[in-house]
Structure 1
Amino acid sequence: MDTLIGMSTPSDLERVESRIIELVRNHLSVPATDIAESCRPVLHEVVEQAVTSSEGGKRLRARLAIAAFDAIRPHAGPETRDAMVDLACAIEVFQTAALVHDDIIDESDLRRGKPSAHRALAEATHSTAIGRGLGLMLGDILATMSIAIAEHAASCLHHPHALDSAFLHMQRDVSVGQVLDLAVELNPLDNPTQLADASLNVFRWKTASYTTMAPLQLGLTAAGIAPDRAAELAERIGRPVGVAFQLADDLLDVIGYTKATGKPVGGDIKEGKRSVLLADALTLSDAPARDELIAMYEAPQRDAQDVRRGIEIFTGCGAVDRSRERISALWNEARTAIASSGLDHDAQQTLIRACRMFIPDSCL
């Protein structure tokens, strides 16, 4: 796949990975003489955790942004394309910031198979409270850093002001999405239709906004497409792909495994997370299973036996199959949007391949 025209090559992916670490270190460089000696070890831990938190991942957002750019400008000069790579890196740095904050909100111990940032910082400082506080500040630092990286990259690309605005709107949308994500947890379980609608709305704001819509908008705009048209295409293509991506992520919590996802299987069930998958299970289950699910999710906590039983209900009642149907329908919607985009054939194929990376085969 990487050898096809318009897709990120392995060298591109290596450049994104190494460039992110370089950018993070550069932006966190503070002269030691300006820091009180007794506080330097803690700052050092935060800097190193910023690097650790920024490592790994599939870099799907960066790859999509670069692919969107390449779809329109497959022969861009090296300086221009370097700027596009930096803009793509800015999205990834912002994602790291969001994940750091997410893990604090969710009280998650793991991220990508390693201790989450606030847990690692708590261990380093021997204080849960200080670790949580440092995690909050690390997320803020990374979010601010991502803006600086994006602004510098945008100055070397088409429509720099529109790129700056799109990047800031992305951050606003994710913040709104996080508020809505917490609000969904207050939804009662006796109205699964309402729960499904609210959860799907969160997916658009919290996930699709910066996972697929913003990368597409930034890549297309940076390549020279008029900002309004780029935003419209990003909405039509990116929204269904981003929602499908989140549905797939929730589905993998049930049908996946820890090595592949970097998270414990059934973690969402153990946390009692409200989701579309849960809403579908409540709709499709018989009365005894539905009552069992409601009691399970309304309990103060859930154990390994609850997780196993929850997975059994999700699978047996047809909720897993319903989730696959939702994902397939959204993927078809995205492909239709690409086909009607007015872009040439090669550009369309580039976007199809890039968007397809967000949907695992096991979820279709």
Structure 2
Amino acid sequence: MCSSNPVDKLLGMCTTANNREIIEPRIIQLVRELTAAPATDEVADALKPVMEQVVDQAASSSQGGKRLRALLALDAFDILAGDVTPDRRDAMIDLACAIEVFQTAALVHDDIIDESDLRRGKPSAHHALEQAVHSGAIGRGLGLMLGDILATACIEITRRSASRLPNTDALNEAFLTMQREVEIGQVLDLAVEMTPLSNPEALANASLNVFRWKTASYTTIAPLLLALLAAGESPDQARHCALAVGRPLGLAFQLADDLLDVVGSSRNTGKPVGGDIREGKRTVLLADALSAADTADKADLIAIFEEDCRNDNQVARTIELFTSTGALDRSRERIAALWGESRKAIAGLELNSEAQRRLTEACARFVPESLR
């Protein structure tokens, strides 16, 4: 269990808050530097306004978010590496920022794929650029290129950081592997939408597989792996430990996110309740509901999700079926089991009791307390 000592909890929150105060402005500084045109040549005066809009949008898109990934990487590094030189910790801060810059790049592309107009309560990058240049086609094109520029920027941030840390080559390789895994995950995320609803078991397995590739890879596995490598752990052992802890944690995180989409509130999640249902997403929740539903309810669910769009009544009906079939309870069971698997892996890292407690608390941020 995580520490119940209020002093320990207060110290942990203070450390997290301090790290966030460091991370947030550093991300914007790095993004502005590395999305601007390099000093290899001049940008023509007539083209500068659009280039400046893209850089400004890169900074705007990089603001906000919980920074869970960067905080996990930095917290894990502090726990595992102990006292280090200021330069080495600064390098780790930038490496943690690189993960967040990568996430922004992925979200920019996601919003183009999903045709989403909003992100974190603001216009999505491509939509903001469409409005800025008064052209849908050019705005979407600029959004696509902004995602690419950010994806390149995060590699440069990693390269610079890794050169000042142990396991330099392994750090660069780990970051590039993370990018490839997420890119594969995006392909699989589109593929799962074509999975037949007639085979719930196959749908559940496919959805969980997408979670591993698209979510866990950069949300929990990579932050832990980069922290372990930067702390000086051998590459083979670092990969083993990061997967053991991060894989189940990442799956639990995504399952919890999907569950909160149904049982949470718009105030707490920042998203409308039932958004995944409205979009017709093939989720583990849907698979579990289909698996447990009787013939009539199963036919009802399939009919709802095979339509081009879903109205408020259909969203409410789906949530009702997710509840009555036990799919919500099954999801809670899955999350608790995965969290238990992650905690067991942390316990197997041979850390002292204080380091184990701190790492457990850092990982616990990915799973709501009510679901652990």
2:359 is the alignment partner of 1:351: yes
Contact preservation (8 Å) 1:8, 1:63 = no
Aligned partner letter, 2:96:
A
Comparing 168-177 and 126-135, the one that deviates more: 126-135
Distance apart, 1:362 and its partner CA: 4.0
Distance 2:50 2:261 in 1: 35
Superposition map of 1:187-206 within 5 A: 187-206=195-214
Aligned partner letter, 2:186:
Q
Distance apart, 1:147 and its partner CA: 0.3
2:19 is the alignment partner of 1:26: no
Distance apart, 1:153 and its partner CA: 0.6
Query: 1:90-112 deviations in whole A, cap 9, x for unaligned?
Result: 00000111111111111122211
Distance apart, 1:342 and its partner CA: 1.9
Comparing 309-318 and 225-234, the one that deviates more: 309-318
Contact preservation (8 Å) 1:8, 1:66 = no
What SS does the corresponding residue of 2:19 show, helix, strand or coil? helix
Q: Which residue of 2 aligns with 1:295?
A: 303
Q: Which residue of 1 aligns with 2:168?
A: 160
2:368 is the alignment partner of 1:360: yes
What SS does the corresponding residue of 1:178 show, helix, strand or coil? helix
Distance 1:57 1:39 in 2: 31
Structure 2 unmatched runs, 5+ = 1-8
Distance apart, 1:12 and its partner CA: 1.3
What SS does the corresponding residue of 1:224 show, helix, strand or coil? coil
> For residues 2 and 228 of structure 1, do their structure 2 counterparts lie closer, same or farther at Cα, with a shift above 3 Å needed?
farther
Equivalent of residue 254 in structure 2, options 246, 249, 252 = 246
Distance 2:46 2:353 in 1: 60
Distance apart, 1:2 and its partner CA: 5.6
Q: Which residue of 2 aligns with 1:9?
A: 16
Equivalent of residue 110 in structure 1, options 108, 112, 118 = 118
2:186 is the alignment partner of 1:178: yes
Superposition map of 1:84-103 within 5 A: 84-103=92-111
2:329 is the alignment partner of 1:329: no
> For residues 362 and 306 of structure 1, do their structure 2 counterparts lie closer, same or farther at Cα, with a shift above 3 Å needed?
farther
Superposition map of 1:21-170 within 5 A: 21-30=28-37, 34-170=42-178
Distance apart, 1:274 and its partner CA: 0.4
RMSD across aligned positions (CA): 1.6
> For residues 2 and 60 of structure 1, do their structure 2 counterparts lie closer, same or farther at Cα, with a shift above 3 Å needed?
farther
Contact preservation (8 Å) 2:126, 2:140 = yes
> For residues 107 and 277 of structure 1, do their structure 2 counterparts lie closer, same or farther at Cα, with a shift above 3 Å needed?
same
Distance 1:89 1:238 in 2: 19
Comparing 259-268 and 81-90, the one that deviates more: 259-268
Distance 1:99 1:182 in 2: 15
Distance 1:312 1:162 in 2: 48
Distance apart, 1:259 and its partner CA: 2.9
Q: Which residue of 2 aligns with 1:229?
A: 237
Q: Which residue of 1 aligns with 2:223?
A: 215
Contact preservation (8 Å) 1:154, 1:163 = yes
Q: Which residue of 1 aligns with 2:3?
A: none
What SS does the corresponding residue of 2:11 show, helix, strand or coil? coil
Q: What TM-score does the superposition give when structure 2 sets the normalisation length?
A: 0.94
Distance 2:370 2:300 in 1: 28
Comparing 21-30 and 259-268, the one that deviates more: 259-268
Comparing 188-197 and 104-113, the one that deviates more: 104-113
Distance apart, 1:230 and its partner CA: 0.6
What SS does the corresponding residue of 1:3 show, helix, strand or coil? helix
Distance apart, 1:35 and its partner CA: 2.1
Distance 1:139 1:276 in 2: 29
Q: Which residue of 1 aligns with 2:4?
A: none
What SS does the corresponding residue of 2:77 show, helix, strand or coil? helix
Structure 1 unmatched runs, 5+ = none
Contact preservation (8 Å) 1:71, 1:346 = no
2:277 is the alignment partner of 1:272: no
Distance 1:123 1:359 in 2: 37
Query: 1:180-228 deviations in whole A, cap 9, x for unaligned?
Result: 1111111000000000001001111110000000000000110111111
Aligned partner letter, 1:123:
Q
2:279 is the alignment partner of 1:258: no
Q: Which residue of 2 aligns with 1:313?
A: 321
Aligned length: 363
Aligned partner letter, 2:236:
D
Distance apart, 1:284 and its partner CA: 1.7
Contact preservation (8 Å) 1:109, 1:119 = yes
Aligned partner letter, 1:233:
C
Distance 1:121 1:299 in 2: 31
Comparing 66-75 and 216-225, the one that deviates more: 66-75
Contact preservation (8 Å) 1:67, 1:354 = yes
Distance 2:129 2:267 in 1: 24
Contact preservation (8 Å) 1:111, 1:263 = no
Query: 1:30-65 deviations in whole A, cap 9, x for unaligned?
Result: 379922333222212211111111011110000110
